Amino acid sequence: MDHPAAVITGAGRGIGRATAVELARRGFRLAVASRNPDELAETLRLAGAPAGVAVPADVSKPADVDRLVRTAVERFGRVDVIVHCAGLAPAKSIVETGIEEWHAVLDTNLSAAFYLCRAAWPVFERQRSGAVVLVSSLAARDPLSGFAAYGAAKAGLQLFALSAAREGEKIGVRVHTVAPGAVETAMFRQLVTPDQWPPEKTLDPADVARVIGQCAAGDLRYTSGEVIYVHKTL
């Protein structure tokens, strides 16, 4: 029960799964969330976290996020770290992007971070400690054509993190933003072929997870409010 507890969204695959493995290695108990329960079960197996809890959830829905945080508190008695890895990144021009799709991108990438912080903040206040790691993207400052919604959502995420870090300082809460470039994930390969972007130019999800782990554990505690860009030099 002395081990810290972490909540990870988007944990069914990619950066979220790699983060679960990294945090478990660092001694964190895990509450993992995504829409796919089978993928979550596999994540807990790979992380070697039999005491972890899988919470199928749609993070664009506030009620699901509240349930996720509540489940973690009920299981572990505390929440020390929240990592928001869930993302949605359709590659469409402005005129091709539907209104509902625009809102889905903003809700998944940006609004969900607010929902998570809002749900966890009372826990952090009671503990007088906590950390939030939000996964942004290099697209927040240099989006490819067709990523208007995604780039805007990630840029908003970074500003939200800065404001949250300033608010959290009073109660011992750190808020970090990790913004990777191209990462070898299923989501990335749905958008870009190996011919368009060779694998040797992408990051491994574990590369990003290691930085997230440093933020979660406090190794990078002085970067609260900052954006940590992680990418290969092209």
Q: Is the pLDDT of residue 50 over 80?
A: no
pLDDT of residue 201: 86
Going along the chain from its start, the domains and CATH numbers come out as 5-230 (3.40.50.720)
Q: What is the pTM of this model?
A: 0.94
Tell me the catalytic residues.
Answer: 150
Mean pLDDT for the stretch of residues 92-115: 97
Task: Yes or no: say if 211 and 231 are a contact pair by the CB < 8 Å rule.
Answer: no
Task: Lay out the sheet containing 29-34: strands in order across.
Answer: 53-56, 29-34, 5-9, 81-84, 130-135, 173-180, 227-230
Which residue from 88, 113, 46 is spatially nearest to 188, judged by alpha carbons? Answer: 88
pLDDT of residue 115: 98
Mean pLDDT for the stretch of residues 97-103: 97
CA–CA dist 6, 76 (Å, integer)? 9
Mean pLDDT for the stretch of residues 216-231: 96
Q: Could you tell me the CA-to-CA distances from 212 to 56, 60, 132, 229, 234 in Å, in that order?
A: 22, 22, 10, 11, 23
CA–CA dist 81, 104 (Å, integer)? 25
pLDDT (tens digit, 9 = 90+) per residue, 143-193? 888 999 999 999 999 999 999 999 999 999 999 999 998 878 888 887 878
Written as six digits, the tokens of 170 are: 């009073």
Mean pLDDT for the stretch of residues 37-64: 95
